[in-house]
Amino acid sequence: MTSSRVTIPTMTTLQTTSIHDAYRERSVLITGGLGFIGSNLARRLVEVGDVEVYLLDALVPDQGGNLFNIEDIKDQVTLHIADMGDPSVINHLVGGMDYVFNLAANVSHLDSMLFPQHDLKLNCQSQLTLLEACRNFNPHVKIVYTSTRQVYGKPLYLPLDEQHRCAPVDINGVHKLAAEHYHLLYHRVYGVRSTCLRLTNTYGPRHLMRHNRQSVIAWFIRQAMDGGMIDLFGEGRQKRDFNYVDDVVEALLMIGASEKAEGDVFNLGSHEPVSLSHLAEELIWLTGHGTVRYVPFPPERQLIDIGNCYSSYRKIETLVGWEPRTTLRAGLASTIEFYNNHRAHYWDSKIESTPRILTTA
Amino acid sequence: MTSSRVTIPTMTTLQTTSIHDAYRERSVLITGGLGFIGSNLARRLVEVGDVEVYLLDALVPDQGGNLFNIEDIKDQVTLHIADMGDPSVINHLVGGMDYVFNLAANVSHLDSMLFPQHDLKLNCQSQLTLLEACRNFNPHVKIVYTSTRQVYGKPLYLPLDEQHRCAPVDINGVHKLAAEHYHLLYHRVYGVRSTCLRLTNTYGPRHLMRHNRQSVIAWFIRQAMDGGMIDLFGEGRQKRDFNYVDDVVEALLMIGASEKAEGDVFNLGSHEPVSLSHLAEELIWLTGHGTVRYVPFPPERQLIDIGNCYSSYRKIETLVGWEPRTTLRAGLASTIEFYNNHRAHYWDSKIESTPRILTTA
């Protein structure tokens, strides 16, 4: 055997193999399955093949749930439009699952400050309902919970690692941290096999694009595509990290397949943080539209702003070999192409079709 | 002037002076005011004189609320028996207050594991209701929130200081930590002047003595007084710190009077941690009754046990000069004397009198 004939599997091949092994012929529930990341994850699981994919989504108004997100795979998944916080729904649903990707959440930091009790209901009460259902009806299910790097609050050092102290600066961060603690506690006490991922800014196709209260990058993309104003607070120097949604989906599947990840917390992150002004320039260059406008910080955002903020993904890389693979430019280009083709379903999306619905509650 | 004629005020004199200055002619609301610490705090404020003392308590069954706790001061306080989680109660009540001592809580770690949603309601939802009321109707009120060293979880080092990472091991700890975050957040964002105290094991007169799910030390006291068995799990070597309730009340008043404490978190603690077996021996010696029995850890307690656990109180000592003044022996002796005189009201307490009630809800 000569060295020229040795085929060294690429990381991607290895990943694909282990993901196939882990998920084929298994049942997977995605909470928040009509949302941005949930629907991209569902599509990837459909591609894996031989996976029973169940989606649970309450289509809470103003959140990211959008039936068009699964238009092309709707016959290959089973959708439950129902509230995860309703024990009669979730107790029944978790019983037969091998995996739960627990993505359902209230995600707006600004809204959480305006309606803290609503955020509590979605991000804590419903999470407890799910975990109690698992404990009682499927105690050894694998759960991957998507948390946020917002739990760290204002960084004491950068990049943020998982040892950084948690001091959330908004209600959403408080509740996401509490829900992380729930997951780790149900692992330690009851054997539920939970892992928490602290996501950073995720972007890509199928995001909520209707308003600017959920994601800075989604709103910038929309403004650039529409030839509108991209408002940069301060001078836009705040550095952030951005992950393309396909990379996040891969992280979810890899960490879900890892026994060693159970009971632990992992950051995602990107190779290189970029400033918001650089992001805006990229978008203007890619779309040929949009204009930057420098504006003072609005008071309600200044109060919960955290300055530069980006995470180290070394821990997940060390454990399962994950790293982001999509460059910012390539990811933004795919994203823009997607919305150019499907703008009508995102700029002012409505519920447009009635897929196979098993439960309504 | 000769040095022999200089009078150096003792710390106690200084404390008393500043506490009088801070609280006289002020209005003070104590949530959980019929409970163990709340009622002792109320009594101290009545002693200060010229303080309008308002107590709010829902008399949640199986918590520490007990009307006998204020029997001797009931004509000097105003009692509202109502739910803090009801905005129509609390919105009205916080308006005229200078201080809120926010002690209302679900405090049983074991119960929180059995009924997590109930713990969420009392320890998070109601706390948000109070803070929203303050934000809207009295944004610069001073709030002292009583948290617990349980938020630290299993110690990485001892004694615990306020920099120790927080990883609560039970639902109660998760929710108490979330409520701390609320208080700090409402301080930072809305200017509500909150301080959090992380209490350790508090003991003394007017504690809940009916069952053993709330406080180890209270139960040991009862068992010794009744000549019963004091069960020590493992060998009773777990070291803990204990504060006599009068010392905790003094800490509450001192920290409430300190502007510099606002937006910050402080431990309480004792001079010297003691083992549970030493505590049991002290009680047997003081009462002349009771027997130690060594038993294996019950599984439901083992799962949330944290081993040795005691806190450093250096931070609060440095800021306001607080330190515990009551020795364990003296504190236990006073406590035993109190229950010898009032056993009927604590061993199987019932609601025995109807004090001046302004609100019932």
Tens of pLDDT, residues B227-257: 999 999 878 889 999 999 999 999 999 999 9
Q: Which residue of A has its CA nearest to B85?
A: A117
pLDDT tier, B9 (very low <50, low <70, confident <90, very high otherwise) = very low
The pLDDT of residue B306 is 75
The pair phi, psi for residue A4, each rounded to 5°, is -65, -20
The pLDDT of residue B353 is 38
8 A C-beta contact, residue A180 and residue A151: yes
CB B182 to CB A175 under 8 A? no
Residues of B in contact with A173 (CB under 8 A): 181
For B137, B144, B161, B184, B253, the CA distances from B263, given in Å and listed in that order, are 19, 10, 17, 5, 16
Question: Which candidate from A120, A189, A304 shows the least CB-CB separation from B128?
Answer: A120
Weakest mean pLDDT among A148-162, A173-187, B229-243: B229-243
CB-based contact (8 Å) between A185 and chain B? yes
The pLDDT of residue B17 is 67
pLDDT tier, A213 (very low <50, low <70, confident <90, very high otherwise) = confident
CB B189 to CB A120 under 8 A? no
Domain map of chain B by residue range?
A: 11-204+242-271+309-326+353-360
The pLDDT of residue A214 is 78
pLDDT tier, A198 (very low <50, low <70, confident <90, very high otherwise) = very high
3-state secondary structure string across B53-88: EEEEECCCCCCCCCHHHHHHHHHHCEEEECCCCCHH
CA-based nearest distance B303→chain A, Å: 6
Residues of B in contact with A169 (CB under 8 A): 185, 188
CB-based contact (8 Å) between A263 and chain B? no
For A76, A183, B144, B294, the CA distances from A43, given in Å and listed in that order, are 9, 26, 50, 57
Compute how many other C-beta atoms are within 10 angstroms of the C-beta atom of residue A173: 26
Segment B54-69 mean pLDDT? 93
The CA distance from A242 to A222, in Å, is 16
Query: Rounded to an integer, what is the distance from CA A1 to the centroid of its chain?
Result: 45
The pLDDT of residue B11 is 47
Nearest alpha carbon to residue A30 among A204, A146, A112 = A146
CB-based contact (8 Å) between B15 and chain A? no
Nearest alpha carbon to residue A40 among A1, A66, A2, A20 = A66
CB-based contact (8 Å) between B265 and chain A? no
For A147, A251, B174, B264, the CA distances from A266, given in Å and listed in that order, are 9, 10, 19, 28
The tens digit of pLDDT for each residue in B181-224 reads: 999 999 999 999 999 999 999 999 999 998 887 788 999 999 99
The pLDDT of residue A302 is 74
Helix (H) or strand (E) holding A359: strand A357-360
Helix (H, G, I), strand (E, B) or coil at B315: helix
The tens digit of pLDDT for each residue in B132-182 reads: 999 999 999 999 999 999 999 999 999 999 999 999 999 999 999 999 999
CB B174 to CB A178 under 8 A? yes
Q: Which residue of A has its CA nearest to B191?
A: A303
CB-based contact (8 Å) between A260 and chain B? no
The pLDDT of residue B15 is 62
Question: Which candidate from A124, A174, A303 shows the least CB-CB separation from B181?
Answer: A174
The pLDDT of residue B300 is 74
CA-based nearest distance B357→chain A, Å: 29
pLDDT tier, B12 (very low <50, low <70, confident <90, very high otherwise) = low
Which of the pair, B32 or B11, is modelled with greater confidence? Answer: B32
Task: State the average pLDDT for chain B.
Answer: 90
Residues of B in contact with A113 (CB under 8 A): 189
Helix (H) or strand (E) holding A58: none
CB-based contact (8 Å) between A48 and chain B? no
CA angle A24/A28/A32 to nearest 5° reads 140
Helix (H) or strand (E) holding A55: strand A52-57
Which of the pair, B358 or A24, is modelled with greater confidence? Answer: A24
| Percent of chain A predicted with pLDDT > 70 | 91
Q: Where are the beta strands (DSSP E) in chain B?
A: 27-31, 52-57, 78-81, 99-102, 142-148, 193-199, 201-203, 229-233, 239-240, 242-244, 264-267, 274-275, 291-295, 357-360
Question: Which candidate from B120, B166, B185 shows the least CB-CB separation from A124?
Answer: B120
The pLDDT of residue B25 is 96
CB B116 to CB A124 under 8 A? no
Q: 95-134 in A: which are within 8 Å (CB) of B?
A: 113, 116-117, 120, 124-125, 128-129, 132
Weakest mean pLDDT among A201-215, B138-152, B267-281: A201-215
8 A C-beta contact, residue B243 and residue B201: yes
Which of the pair, B13 or B102, is modelled with greater confidence? Answer: B102
Segment B336-361 mean pLDDT? 66
Residues of A in contact with B167 (CB under 8 A): 181, 184
Checking if the pLDDT of B290 tops 90, the result is yes
| Percent of chain A predicted with pLDDT > 90 | 80
Q: 299-358 in B: which are within 8 Å (CB) of A?
A: 303-304
The tens digit of pLDDT for each residue in A57-96 reads: 999 888 889 999 999 999 999 999 999 999 999 999 999 9
Size of interface A-B (CB pairs under 8 A): 70
Whether the ω angle into residue B159 lies within 30 degrees of 0, i.e. cis, is: yes
Compute how many other C-beta atoms are within 10 angstroms of the C-beta atom of residue B99: 23
The tens digit of pLDDT for each residue in A37-64 reads: 999 999 999 999 999 999 999 998 888 8
Q: Which residue of A has its CA nearest to B187?
A: A169
Question: Which candidate from A120, A132, A170 shows the least CB-CB separation from B185?
Answer: A170
Question: Which candidate from A128, A170, A177 shows the least CB-CB separation from B116?
Answer: A128
Q: Which pair of structure tokens corresponds to residue B303? A: 């799962």
Question: Which candidate from A117, A132, A165 shows the least CB-CB separation from B116?
Answer: A132
Q: Which residue of A has its CA nearest to B124?
A: A120
CB B184 to CB A177 under 8 A? no
The pLDDT of residue A12 is 54
Checking if the pLDDT of A10 tops 80, the result is no
Name residue B182's amino acid: Y
Whether the ω angle into residue B9 lies within 30 degrees of 0, i.e. cis, is: no
Q: Any alpha helices (H) in A106-200, and if so which ranges?
A: 109-114, 116-120, 126-137, 171-190
pLDDT tier, B314 (very low <50, low <70, confident <90, very high otherwise) = very high
Instruction: Tell me the whole-structure pTM to 2 decimals.
Output: 0.90
The pLDDT of residue A306 is 75
CA-based nearest distance A202→chain B, Å: 26
Q: Which residue of A has its CA nearest to B132?
A: A116
Tell me which fold the domain B11-204+242-271+309-326+353-360 belongs to: Rossmann fold (3.40.50)
Just give the CATH number of A8-208+242-271+310-326+350-360: 3.40.50.720
Checking if the pLDDT of A311 tops 60, the result is yes
The CA distance from B150 to B215, in Å, is 13
Checking if the pLDDT of B279 tops 90, the result is yes
Helix (H, G, I), strand (E, B) or coil at B275: strand
CA-based nearest distance A338→chain B, Å: 39
For A201, A228, A297, B291, the CA distances from A232, given in Å and listed in that order, are 17, 13, 8, 71
CA-based nearest distance B188→chain A, Å: 8
The pLDDT of residue B337 is 97
The CA distance from A293 to A291, in Å, is 6
Segment A347-356 mean pLDDT? 51
CB-based contact (8 Å) between B153 and chain A? no
Question: Which candidate from A116, A124, A185 shows the least CB-CB separation from B169?
Answer: A185
Give long-range contacts, CB 8 A cutoff, 24+ apart: B235-238. B235/B277, B235/B294, B236/B275, B236/B276, B236/B277, B236/B280, B236/B292, B236/B294, B237/B275, B237/B276, B237/B277, B238/B275, B238/B276, B238/B305, B238/B307, B238/B308, B238/B309
The CA distance from B26 to B112, in Å, is 35
Q: Which residue of A has its CA nearest to B190?
A: A303
Compute how many other C-beta atoms are within 10 angstroms of the C-beta atom of residue B195: 24
pLDDT tier, B341 (very low <50, low <70, confident <90, very high otherwise) = very high
The pLDDT of residue A121 is 97
Which residue's structure tokens are 């897929």? A355
